[in-house]
Amino acid sequence: MTAAVPSLHQPKRALIAAGEVAAVVLLGFAAHWCWQRGVVRLEYPVENGAPLVSTRYHGNWIGGAIALVTLAAVLVLDVVRQTVLAVRARPRKAPAEKDAEPDV
C-alpha cells in the first residue's frame, strides 16, 4: 500500500492567488492613506512676502505605510508562486511499463 503524495499542481491555488491580489490592492490603498497622514504641509503667512511653507513628517504614519508596502511586496511574491504552481506544475506521467518478456 503506497501513501498518496500530494501533487504541486492544484488549480485551487489560482483562487488563492486572486484573493492575494485583492489583498495587495487593499494594502496599497491603506499604505497611500497612511502616507498622506504622515506628511503635513504647514503655511505661515508673512507680511510683505510669500508665505513660509513647512513640511512636518509623522514617523508612525510613514512607518506604517512602509510596513504595509513591505507586506504587499511579500504577497506579490506569493501570488507569483501560487500562480506558477496552479498553472505550470503538472503531475508527472507514470513511466511506461516495459513489455514483459515471455518466460522461455
Residue 104 belongs to a domain: no
For range 6-28, the mean pLDDT: 87
Quote the percentage of the chain above a pLDDT of 70: 76
Average pLDDT, the chain: 85
Q: Which domain holds residue 43?
A: 12-87
For range 33-49, the mean pLDDT: 93
Q: Read out DSSP for 42-70? A: EEE--TTSPPEEEEEE-HHHHHHHHHHHH
> Rounded to whole angstroms, how far apart are CA atoms 13 and 83?
7
Residue 100 belongs to a domain: no
> Rounded to whole angstroms, how far apart are CA atoms 96 and 88?
22
Residue 57 belongs to a domain: yes
Handedness of CA 32, 37, 38, 44 (dihedral sign): positive
Q: Which residue has the higher pLDDT, 3 or 65?
A: 65
| Contact of 45 with 51, CB cutoff 8 Å | yes
Residue 3 belongs to a domain: no
Domain count, the chain: 1
pLDDT at 7: 66
Structure pTM? Answer: 0.71
